[in-house]
Amino acid sequence: MSLRTSYTLLAPVYDAIVASATRPFRKISLAALSSPATSHKILLAGVGSGLDLPELPAGPSYYGIDITPAMLRRAQKCNQDYQNTVLHCGNVHCLPYRDNSFDTVLMHLILAVVPDPQQALHEAVRVLKPGGHLHIVDKFLRPGQRAIVRRLLNTIIRHIATRTDVVFEALHRNEPILKLLHDQPLEPTGWFRFIRLQKLTSSTNFM
């Protein structure tokens, strides 16, 4: 089952399943935006049903992208109340934006959903300005973590809604231009994490 198909089916019940459980995590990430300037452009990669829209700080220009029209229709209804986000239908594996376009990229609950999280992260880095910040909220395994139940679960649910075997450190290793600024375990188990990174400038010493 394709990602678009599965989330088309999930769209009517997505908010009921996800909203309250993940709102505290997403608020932590959004609070870290630290009063962004009105000139800033912020991308919500995988905006989904628009759960983040009511929480966005006023001022910047926001852009949201998602592959599933059914989810975007729900986001558009939410956006009518705020009218601060331009919504696009598109694939986070191949973002329709120029290099170095955004001051901040938000990736909330998307890297563990897409078929190719490495490509999604690479695209987020590409459109992020040097010196810009990337905020990630998602569930990740730690390097070397056995997590047998989660890995077995992944063989089933990865075809329906999400993956449970993604290791962030493996993704980060392939994007050396990203500097880790903050890595915060969330909820009692620490499976979900808030990760904040910065895209280094060309003049930065990478060593």
Residue 16: pLDDT over 90: no
Share of the chain above pLDDT 90, in %: 59
Q: What is the pLDDT of residues 93-129, one digit of tens each?
A: 999 999 999 999 999 999 988 989 999 999 999 999 9
What does the pLDDT average to over 160-182?
Answer: 88
Percent of the chain with pLDDT over 70: 82
Domains and CATH numbers, the chain: 3-199 (3.40.50.150)
89: Cβ–Cβ under 8 A, 6 or more apart, which residues?
Answer: 65, 66, 67, 69, 72
pLDDT for res 203? 46
The whole-number pLDDT of residue 153 equals: 59
**pLDDT value of position 38:** 84
pLDDT of residue 82: 65
pLDDT of residue 80: 77
What is the pLDDT, as a whole number, of residue 158?
A: 56
Tens-place pLDDT, residues 179-190: 999 999 998 778
- Give 18-59 pLDDT, tens digit per residue: 888 899 999 999 999 977 888 899 999 999 999 999 989 988
* pLDDT given at position 150: 58
